[in-house]
Amino acid sequence: MWPQAGRKLSALIVLVILGVVAVFCLAPFFFLVISSLRPGVEMVRHGISFTIDFGALNLNNYVLLVAGKDGIYLSWYLNSVVITVIHTLLSLLLTSMVGYGLAVYNFRGRNLIFTIVLIVMMIPVEILILPLYKLSINLKIIDTYLGVILPFMVAPSSIFFFRQYAATLPKELMDAGRIDGCGEFRIFFQIMAPLMVPAFGAMGILQAMFSWNSFVWPLIVLRSNDMLTLPIGLQSLLTPYGNNYDLLFPGAVMSVIPIVILFILNQKAFISGLTVGGVKG
């Protein structure tokens, strides 16, 4: 009797703690949404206020955001979507193949390559910016989608994750595929890749978040206003002479929506992929 009551009490305490943490995590986003529905001048006058006049809330800021400034916000949004989708798909394809190869094949230099991957993971990104910028100039990919995507398309952390995950896959399936006459690429895409769906789900979210929120490198590479990504475009609304809160708040709210939708649709694979890839291997 008492052990069961103790377990229920422990579960209740954990639930309360998680509820409090959730409130603190969601509170900033709640006030961001409320602020996006109020005139920006209210933010200047009163700051973040706990008193909400629901009668004064409207969608005027969102209409101004979409229709104003020659639709430049939609251009920023489209740029971010295109770059994120292309970067995520190519990153998942290439890093999964590299990680899979390092995990399941025995070849000369495999440990050396994996050691190099680990070393690159420890190098700060700031050190790589200058040589990558010079390389981008030589390749003539400045102010293009390719210039944003190419340098960070194959992330060492993603290779490491896929390598750890692929090491848990049953090698007998590969032998069975070879007996049936399958080539190595067919074995990967038709047999092993479906087993790596949780890993694809986890890294898909992480890579999409990295690309969507990337700021420093796109700021260096992109030049023209209509090629800017969403984080850079929103930053341009903050100036020493005043902040355009009428556009900044609704723009920030809309920028969160794609990642939230992606996580909601993919949360099971995300949790499963992180759990298996982190525990086994």
> What pLDDT shows up at residue 21?
92
> What pLDDT shows up at residue 101?
92
Q: Residue 105 is part of which domain span? A: 69-279
pTM of the model: 0.85
Q: What is the CATH number of the domain that holds 155?
A: 1.10.3720.10
CA 133 – CA 125 distance, rounded (Å): 12
> What pLDDT shows up at residue 85?
95
Same domain for 54 and 75, yes or no, is no
Give the 3-state secondary structure of residue 154: coil
Model pLDDT for residues 40-72, shown as the tens digit of each residue? 777 666 666 667 777 778 888 888 888 866 778
Same domain for 168 and 40, yes or no, is no
**Is 63 domain-assigned?**
no
Q: Which residue has the tokens 């430049």?
A: 72
Q: Which two tokens stand for residue 210?
A: 């990295």
CA 253 – CA 24 distance, rounded (Å): 18
CA 41 – CA 30 distance, rounded (Å): 19
Pairing of strands 242-243, 238-239: antiparallel
Residue 196 Cα to chain centre, angstroms: 19
Same domain for 167 and 253, yes or no, is yes
Q: Which two tokens stand for residue 241?
A: 């002479």
> What pLDDT shows up at residue 278?
46
Cβ–Cβ under 8 Å, residues 99 and 162: yes
Low-confidence ranges of the chain (pLDDT < 70): 1-3, 5-6, 43-50, 68-69, 240-243, 270-281
Same domain for 160 and 22, yes or no, is no
